[in-house]
Amino acid sequence: MLCCTAFRYVHRHVDAWRCRNWGDIVAFIWGLVGAVLGSVFFGGLLGWIIHKLLRLPYSTSDAVALLVVVFGTGFTNASPSRPIVSTWLFYFVAAIPAYLILRQLRRYASPALAVATASDQPPPLPQTPRSDQAAVTAQMQLEDEVALSVRTQDAPPPLPSPPQPQPKPRRSQNIIARHWRGELPLPVSYWLVNFAVNLGAGIAVLALSSFFTPNDGYEPAGILAFQAFIWTTLTVLAIWQVVGLWRSAERRAGEQSKARKSAFWARAAQVMAAIGVLQFGLAITNSAAPQFAELSRIVFLNDPDIPDATLRLSDDARFLVLDGGIKYGLAGQVDLLLGAAPNVTGLLLSSPGGRVAEARKIFDLVRERGLDTFVSDECSSACTLVFVAGRNRLVGQNGRLGFHGSFFPGMSEQDLREMNDAWASLYRSAGLSAVFLDRALRVPPESIWYPTREELREAGVTLGDASKLAALPDGFTAAASLASVRETLLAASGLYEAIDTHAPDQAARIYARGLDYAEGKISVDALTSEVNGIIIKLVTTRLSRADDQTLVQYALVAADEYDALRQLDTTACFHHASGTQQINLKSYISPELAAREAAVNERIVRSVGTAPSVTQTYLDSIWGAVGWAMRNTLTQAEFDAFMTPVEQITPSEHEAYCIAATAMMRELAKLPPHEAATAIRSFYQ
């Protein structure tokens, strides 16, 4: 526990390359001491295990164990702010004294072993006095010469001595070596060894892969080294596993053949071994090779498929401009520039996308600084993740956002779904709707979806109002918004101000259609038709509240409009006067007449009075007077056309109807204001 705590202390508090004061130096020294102690403990334990399993000398076992500790702790303690190379270097430095300490500890145990070995040796032979020994030696030489002379006279030539048997080299008996030679029983090699290796390798790969994936924000060089280590280890294990199983099955088949028994299970095990080799080869082809190739392109070729990015500050140092692809290392540059320019309030994006891991880092930087984000042309793929981190998020008049699902070579469908889920969680944290994300991230990576501005607003992708921001980046033209449309219309005419005040629901409809026109969804004719329809309906429903003088002016404007229409298009005049079809008056009337109409309509909309009650007899007398006056000014055909139901009027009668409608409005305007207003109110009820 002490060593683990020391390791974590180093990870959190020590950076060997950034010591700026005595406190940092002391922290670094204590961290180094903790790293040495941890290396001694874990390296010694792992070295003992390697020594027992592989029968290697302690010097070799400890060296291998410390290298494993350095490699593992480098991955565990690396972070985006602390490069993995510097982390490896720190623990490698700590491993050197740890190795020396382990060697000394091993030597402390050796004297006891030497004493134990010496106690088992036989005692030395007693020494013979020098004078007696010389005499004995001379006597033995004389006897040997006599015996040799006798044997050489009659003895046959000596036979050659038989060859001495060569001692067999001692073979390792650990389970790893025995499995490799095929000496383990077939059930043990097939079931126990295979199951243990597959289970252990699977757990190790899953556990390590959960920390080190291409989009977790670690450096590509470290990820590449990790991938190389994993697949090299798996390949060595697979070769050892399959070769040992094959040899064990071959030995078993030979034993069964000598015993005249079936070797079915031995051959079946070999078939399964061949299938396993094929599966492993497919895994390398479909997963390892594509990932290794992609990571190599990132590390050694600087990600050539993604364009280089440029970062610059605006002239007023209030905006950071990012133009280009999002590669590894870009977040560090953004962080550096933001640190050097504290007055930056916004980030202008122009990017086709790039690496999600790097975009995630920039996402965090934008959120921490509370920056606004802007898009003037295109922001697609991983760039959209940076965009949604903004406090205010605005897309310019020519801007667009592109979405699609995530992708990395060699990853399975399940891996990609998990990456999309992680990506979606970041988008949801920025307030995007789940329905929108479900559609956006289902787009295949080779395609792209550009939502409409309305879809972006409804999903919460775009936020804020350009008119309320203190400044906008150079080259950014704000796109139309409901607020900007409202501001434009209110400045254009008092009629829209009256509608905004007294009929906000209808005003909202007008603003929405104005925004549709600004975004190119509808034509100007469609906009005019719909807005005029809303205004006519609103004015008609509020006529009863208008005062008498306003209604008299309304009648005069209507008469002048009918007359102007009749001179240009009798059919248009008929439709406008009868209300059977909406007509765009701007094409027929003068600007002065259009201004008079808008002024009268504004007065009607602002009216808050109530219609006075009148008797039917009084109303009939007014219309009787109007009808008598119309007979005196119209021909019989014109009067008859006006009295005919509109659905029965033929095109040849359109002009007559228009003339009669004009006469009616002029005769109403000639009446006393109270009578004229009473008749007009009843006409439109």
- Residue predicted with more confidence, 120 or 43: 43
Six token digits for residue 365: 């930087």
d(CA 674, CA 555): 13
**Which domains are seen in the chain, by residue range?**
2-108 (no CATH), 175-300 (no CATH), 310-468 (3.90.226.10), 523-684 (no CATH)
| pLDDT, tens digit (0-9, with 9 covering 90-100), for 572-603 | 999 999 988 888 888 888 999 999 999 999 99
Residue 456's closest CA among 533, 396, 532? 396
Residues 6+ apart with CB under 8 A from 28: 14, 15, 16, 19
Asked whether the predicted pLDDT for residue 318 surpasses 70, the reply is: yes
d(CA 184, CA 33): 45
Calculate the average pLDDT of the chain. Answer: 83
Distinct helix (H) and strand (E) counts, the chain:
28, 6
Q: Which runs of consecutive H residues, i.e. helices, occur in 370-481? A: 383-387, 413-429, 434-440, 453-459
Quote the pLDDT of residue 129.
47
d(CA 480, CA 466): 9
With 0-12 / 13-18 / 19 or more C-beta atoms within 10 angstroms meaning exposed / middle / buried, residue 143 is exposed
Quote the pLDDT of residue 354.
94
Running DSSP on this structure, what letter comes out for residue 391? S
Q: Which residues on adjacent β-strands are paired with residue 8?
A: none
Among the listed ranges 264-268, 370-374, 517-521, which one has the minimum average pLDDT value? 517-521
Task: Please give the average per-residue pLDDT across 106-128, as a whole number.
Answer: 51
Task: Please give the average per-residue pLDDT across 60-70, as a whole number.
Answer: 84
Quote the pLDDT of residue 2.
29
Running DSSP on this structure, what letter comes out for residue 169? P
Quote the pLDDT of residue 480.
76
Residues 6+ apart with CB under 8 A from 119: none
C-beta of residue 377 within 8 angstroms of C-beta of residue 398: yes
| pLDDT, tens digit (0-9, with 9 covering 90-100), for 290-302 | 988 998 999 899 9
Q: What are phi and psi of 465, to 5 degrees?
A: -130, 125
Range with the largest mean pLDDT of 121-135, 190-204, 235-249: 235-249
Q: Which residues on adjacent β-strands are paired with residue 79?
A: 82
Six token digits for residue 583: 């007509």
Tell me the one-letter amino acid at 216.
Answer: D
C-beta of residue 95 within 8 angstroms of C-beta of residue 89: no
Residue 343's closest CA among 379, 311, 371, 362? 371
Q: Are strands 319-323 and 310-313 parallel, antiparallel or unpaired?
A: antiparallel
DSSP per position, 51-112 = HHHH---HHHHHHHHHHHHHHHHHHHH-BTTB-HHHHHHHHHHHHHHHHHHHHHHHHHHHHH
**Rounded-to-10 torsion of CA 45, 49, 50, 51:** 100
DSSP per position, 568-583 = H-HHHHHHHHHTSS--
| pLDDT, tens digit (0-9, with 9 covering 90-100), for 525-534 | 888 889 988 9
Asked whether the predicted pLDDT for residue 151 surpasses 80, the reply is: no
Residues in the chain: 685
d(CA 193, CA 197): 6
Quote the pLDDT of residue 111.
54
Task: Please give the average per-residue pLDDT across 392-409, as a whole number.
Answer: 93
Range with the largest mean pLDDT of 16-30, 170-184, 604-618, 626-640: 626-640
d(CA 333, CA 345): 17
Tell me the one-letter amino acid at 566.
Answer: R
d(CA 631, CA 633): 6
C-beta of residue 63 within 8 angstroms of C-beta of residue 35: no
Q: How confident is the model at residue 19 (pLDDT cuts 50, 70, 90)?
A: very low
Task: Please give the average per-residue pLDDT across 373-393, as a whole number.
Answer: 96
Quote the pLDDT of residue 499.
93
Quote the pLDDT of residue 166.
61
Task: Please give the average per-residue pLDDT across 100-106, as a whole number.
Answer: 84
Half-sphere exposure of 523 (CA within 13 A, CB side): 3
